[in-house]
Amino acid sequence: MKQNEYGPIPGSAIFSGISGKKAIIMAANVRIALVAQGIFKAAKDTDSALFMEIARSESDLKGGYTGMTPAAFAEKMQEAAKAVQFDSWALHADHITIKKGDSSEIEQTKQLIDAQIAAGYTSFAIDASHLFNFEGKTVKEELAENIRVTSDLAHYIKNKMNGQDFGLEVEVGEIGRKGGEGLILTKPEEAVGFIKALNESDVYPHVLAIANGSTHGHTYDANGNVIEQLSIDIPRTKKIAQALRENNLKVGIAQHGITGTPRDLINLHFPKGDIIKGNVGTFWQDVVFSTLKVYEPALYKDIQEWTLEKYRSANPGKKDRQIFDGNCKFAIKEFYKEIYSVEKDTEHAIQAMAYAESLIFFKAFSSQGTASLVRKNS
Ligand SMILES: [Zn+2]
């Protein structure tokens, strides 16, 4: 038996395995690892391929705001996959974000990538979308820095992976960025120009993240209440996918910021197959906190008080609920020990809830059967 029987497979194997299928593969940002077993179990029971991912802000060499280094995250995901014996998943570095693009930031980024590769990551998302030049007169001018940094880091990863296959995601538009007239959306010619330029420098991403109307985390109405809504611009998303196809560019779309999008609408209206990767992050954190609220009221109260005390003054006029939702992620590191030593029945409830919610996501994403497809192709 292979030692790593339930270890992560290359992200590229998942993307090529589902090629042509109208399915979205869930990518779960697991900020609190207690949900992982439930997600893996649902993936196994529905035969759904899966990404387990974590962004640079969530997990870096110092632990990010989740308190997990890349090695700690990898270990927790491996353990959870092994516990339920699930084999069709990739370990993905979400948002390897570069904000300035200067040499010291690039150097630090390469150190993070080294640690991710050493920890066994099999898929990477380079996010240099912040380097968008709004003064640029042509697509090439707008994207020049993004193209330079993305291709530098993609080549770096390829070298370091030393012949091993891996998944590659890149970002053309900053998710959730607002301009004078609301959210700034990616144009089809930007997506096409970006991928063409990367291909010309011998970089062939499997998925492209675009700005198409989603934001990370929850959306609120004027009264500070959470609203469910389909903010994602589906016609624009389809146009971008079509433009990529017409230019013979083999790249799917990664949908970020799915938390808060009603799953019945995803099920019926998302262009599955155009969108091939669906990132779900904040949702899983909510699963943990809503369970703690009932199962561990004292701990929940401590977390709530710590968060409100720390972030209230910086958020004048916002309701406590919104301040807590937006900032409770920063309590994960602060209460790391307490969260990871909750009672067995608490952990069980979190897993059960993560399991049930995953079933709904996999159904809405039409990902049933993709794990077998991936196995057959690898
Ligand atoms: Zn994202």
CA separation for the pair 233, 37 (Å, rounded): 33
Task: Tell me how far the alpha carbon of residue 166 lies from the centroid of ligand 1, in angstroms.
Answer: 19
CA separation for the pair 113, 95 (Å, rounded): 12
Task: Tell me how far the alpha carbon of residue 178 lies from the centroid of ligand 1, in angstroms.
Answer: 15
**Cα-based distances in Å from 168 to 29, 280, 326:** 17, 18, 29
* HSE-up (13 A, CA, CB side) for residue 240: 31
Task: Tell me how far the alpha carbon of residue 84 lies from the centroid of ligand 1, in angstroms.
Answer: 27
Task: Tell me how far the alpha carbon of residue 47 lies from the centroid of ligand 1, in angstroms.
Answer: 25
Task: Tell me how far the alpha carbon of residue 353 lies from the centroid of ligand 1, in angstroms.
Answer: 23
- Strand ranges inside the chain, DSSP E: 25-29, 50-55, 89-97, 123-127, 167-171, 178-179, 182-183, 207-209, 252-255, 275-280
**Cα-based distances in Å from 43 to 64, 86, 357:** 27, 8, 11
Task: Tell me how far the alpha carbon of residue 29 lies from the centroid of ligand 1, in angstroms.
Answer: 9
Task: Tell me how far the alpha carbon of residue 174 lies from the centroid of ligand 1, in angstroms.
Answer: 9
Size (the chain), residues: 378
Task: Tell me how far the alpha carbon of residue 344 lies from the centroid of ligand 1, in angstroms.
Answer: 32
Task: Tell me how far the alpha carbon of residue 109 lies from the centroid of ligand 1, in angstroms.
Answer: 17
Query: In a structure prediction context, what are the per-residue pLDDT tens digits for the chain, which is 378 residues long?
Result: 445 789 999 999 999 999 999 999 999 999 999 999 999 999 999 999 999 999 999 999 999 999 999 999 999 999 999 999 999 999 999 999 999 999 999 999 999 999 999 999 999 999 999 998 888 899 999 999 999 999 999 999 999 999 999 999 999 988 778 877 778 899 999 999 999 999 999 999 999 999 998 888 777 777 777 776 678 899 999 999 999 999 999 999 999 999 989 999 999 999 999 999 999 999 999 999 999 999 999 999 999 999 999 999 998 889 999 999 999 999 999 999 999 999 999 999 999 999 999 999 999 999 999 999 999 987
Task: Tell me how far the alpha carbon of residue 267 lies from the centroid of ligand 1, in angstroms.
Answer: 20
CB-CB contact of 353 with 42 (8 Å): no
CA separation for the pair 84, 169 (Å, rounded): 28
| Closest to 142 measured CA to CA, from 184, 190, 107, 183 | 190
